[in-house]
Amino acid sequence: MMGSSLVMSKKGGSGDMHSADELEKCVRVTPPSAWVALVAFVVLLAGLLAWAVFGTIATRVPTTAAVVDGRAICFLSEEDVVKMHVGDKADIDGEALGIEGVTLKVSSISTLPVSRAEAGEIVPGDYLAEALMKDNWAYPVTFEDDTSGLPEGVPLSMEITVERLAPIRLLLGR
């Protein structure tokens, strides 16, 4: 039967196919490049889905802090302080000072703002109070954990992580 001609017909078709060559002309074969593109798309889609479920998007508040009497303190605006919670983590960028990898936790958030003059009583010197205060009124925020490796009374760049959110929650609206 190998050498016999192929006879195919379809209902309503215009004719019969009598050879394998005619069949090959009618059947389209997907080229390997299309399969590679499809596999790449599926892998990309799976990676995005994994990131959406297991990844996080962090909301951070940048600020300037200083160590005063062995504890870190910063002053935040009302807009920033409403986002914060006791226990939020803060990363200090001390690369310029040769300090690396210092993470602190928020230990207290004042419910009352202080003026620049009052901030000058909390931290030593007008220079430090001016460096820490962005506005005329701000809320003092203190931090816990080991500050022994940080210089006393020096302004330090800090980012406080106030929220971590899985990307899938943005899509689902939860």
Task: Tell me whether residue 149 is in a domain.
Answer: yes
Residues 100 and 151 occupy one common structural domain: yes
Last residue of a domain, one of 54, 70, 96: 54
Last residue of a domain, one of 12, 35, 54: 54
Residues 36 and 119 occupy one common structural domain: no
Residues 38 and 81 occupy one common structural domain: no
For range 143-151, the mean pLDDT: 87
Residues 73 and 97 occupy one common structural domain: yes
Number of domains in the chain: 2
Residues 105 and 159 occupy one common structural domain: yes
Range of the domain at 36: 20-54
Residues 88 and 50 occupy one common structural domain: no
Task: Tell me whether residue 77 is in a domain.
Answer: yes
- Residue 14's pLDDT is 54
Residues 104 and 168 occupy one common structural domain: yes
Q: Give the tokens for residue 11.
A: 């209902």
- Residue 1's pLDDT is 46
Residue 104's CATH number: 2.40.30.170
Residues 64 and 141 occupy one common structural domain: yes
Residues 43 and 82 occupy one common structural domain: no
Identify which has the larger pLDDT, 35 or 96. Answer: 35
CB neighbour burial string for 14-28, b if at least 16 within 10 angstroms, e if fewer: eeebeeeeeeeeeee
- Asked if the model's pLDDT at residue 75 lies above 50, the reply is yes
- Asked if the model's pLDDT at residue 121 lies above 80, the reply is yes
Residues 68 and 153 occupy one common structural domain: yes
